[in-house]
Amino acid sequence: MDMIAFIMAGGVGKRLSLLTSYRAKPAVPFAGRYRIIDFTLTNCVRSGISNVYVLTQYISRSLIGHLGIGKPWDLDRIKGGLHILHPHLGYQAADWYRGTADAIFQNIPVIKNISSRHILILSGDHVYHMDYRKFLDFHLHSRTPVTIAVVDVPPSWCKEFGIATLDSKGKILNFEEKPLRSKSSLASMGIYIFDKDYLISILRELKPRHDDLDFGKHVIPHLVDRGMVSAYRFGGFWLDIGTLKSYYRASLSLLTERSKLKLSGGHTVLTVPDDNPPLLISPGARVKHSLICKGCMVEGEVESSVISPGVIIEKGARVENSILLHDCKIRRGASVRNSIIDKLSDIGAGARIGWGDPRILNRLQPEYLDFGLTVIGRTSDIPAGIEIGTNCLYSGSMKRDCHPAGNLEDGESYLCDEANILS
Task: Give the type of residue at 237.
Answer: F
Percent of the chain with pLDDT over 90: 74
Average pLDDT, whole number, for the chain? 91
pLDDT score of 238: 92
pTM: 0.92
In degrees and rounded to multiples of 5, residue 262 shows phi and psi of -100, 135
Residue-wise pLDDT tens digits, 319-371: 999 999 999 999 999 999 999 999 999 999 999 999 999 999 999 999 999 99
pLDDT band at 261 (very low <50, low <70, confident <90, very high): confident
Final residue of a domain: which of 187, 216, 250?
Answer: 250
Same domain as 208, residue 155: yes
| CATH, residue 96 | 3.90.550.10
pLDDT score of 297: 97
Same domain as 27, residue 88: yes
Range of the domain at 285: 275-423
Residue 93 has pLDDT above 50, yes or no: no
pLDDT score of 274: 84
Residue 42 has pLDDT above 60, yes or no: yes
Same domain as 287, residue 217: no
Under 8 Å CB-to-CB from 157, ≥6 apart: which residues?
A: 185, 187
Domains in the chain, number:
2
Length of the chain as a residue count: 423
Same domain as 309, residue 241: no
Residue 419 has pLDDT above 50, yes or no: no
Quick one: residue 249, left, alpha or beta (phi over 0 = left, psi -120 to 50 = alpha)?
A: alpha
In degrees and rounded to multiples of 5, residue 409 shows phi and psi of -75, 165
- What is the mean pLDDT of the segment spanning 52-70? 91
Residue 91 has pLDDT above 70, yes or no: no
Q: Computed from CA positions of residues 6, 9, 14, 19, in that sequence, does the dihedral angle turn out positive or negative? A: positive
Same domain as 20, residue 111: yes
Same domain as 163, residue 35: yes
Q: Which residues of 170-198 are buried (b: 16+ CB within 10 A; e: fewer)?
A: bbbebbbeeeeebebbbbbbbbbbbbbee
Residue-wise pLDDT tens digits, 146-174: 999 999 998 888 888 889 999 888 899 99
